[in-house]
Amino acid sequence: VSAAPAASALRIGELARRAGTTPRTIRYYEELGLLPAAAQRAAGSHRLYGEADLERLRELIRLRELLGLSLDELGQVIEAEEARAVLRAEIQAGVEDPARLRELLLAALGHLDLQLRLVHRRQAELAELEADLSGRRTRVLERLAEREPAR
């Protein structure tokens, strides 16, 4: 899908290491269509990746871990990445249709807003958990202080 991985081609092991995951996960994501299958690969030969693939993989992992999405949900959510890739490709290819550009930018905006809503919900839940734990911590400290008056 992406233009050739260029000079800085990574093999699957390096890509996995840099993204903080494993080769098995990368192959699985490719199988599910979350990562593009390096197009010009002969069956049995090595997969090669570029910087764009690394970025996309990192984003996938970050959204999965922090938002707790299933891979199915993840596929729907990362359409923002898709839109961004299309945008870059078309600009690089010299396409200059203003209406088309505006459409892509609006799509990206919508997907970013969706992701931000999910992030904000998580942040609210974590803030609540933090408040509960802190409150309990304070009460434990108070009870310890009571037990140990002016040592």
Partner DNA sequence: TTGCTCCTCACGTCACGTGAGGTGGC
Instruction: Kindly state whether residue 61 participates in binding a second copy, applying the rule CB under 8 A.
Output: no
With CB under 5 to 8 Å by kind, the binding choice for 56 among a second copy, DNA, none is none
Q: Which is nearer to DNA, 68 or 110 (CB)?
A: 68
Q: Return d(Cα 47, Cα 103) in angstroms, integer.
A: 33
Q: What is the dihedral of CA 92, 94, 99, 101, to 10 degrees?
A: 10
Token couple for 46: 């090595």
With CB under 5 to 8 Å by kind, the binding choice for 92 among DNA, a second copy, none is none
Q: Return d(Cα 15, Cα 63) in angstroms, integer.
A: 18
Helix, strand, or coil (residue 10): strand
Instruction: Kindly state whether residue 120 participates in binding a second copy, applying the rule CB under 8 A.
Output: yes
Instruction: Kindly state whether residue 91 participates in binding a second copy, applying the rule CB under 8 A.
Output: no
Instruction: Kindly state whether residue 72 participates in binding DNA, applying the rule CB under 7 A.
Output: yes
With CB under 5 to 8 Å by kind, the binding choice for 89 among DNA, a second copy, none is none
> For a second copy, which residue of 24, 41, 46, 62 counts as binding (CB under 8 A)?
62
Residue 118 CB contacts under 8 Å (≥ 6 apart), including other chains: 67, 77
Q: What are phi and psi of 10, to 5 degrees?
A: -105, 145
Binding residues (CB under 7 A) for DNA: these are 11-14, 22-25, 27-28, 32, 43-47, 64, 70-72
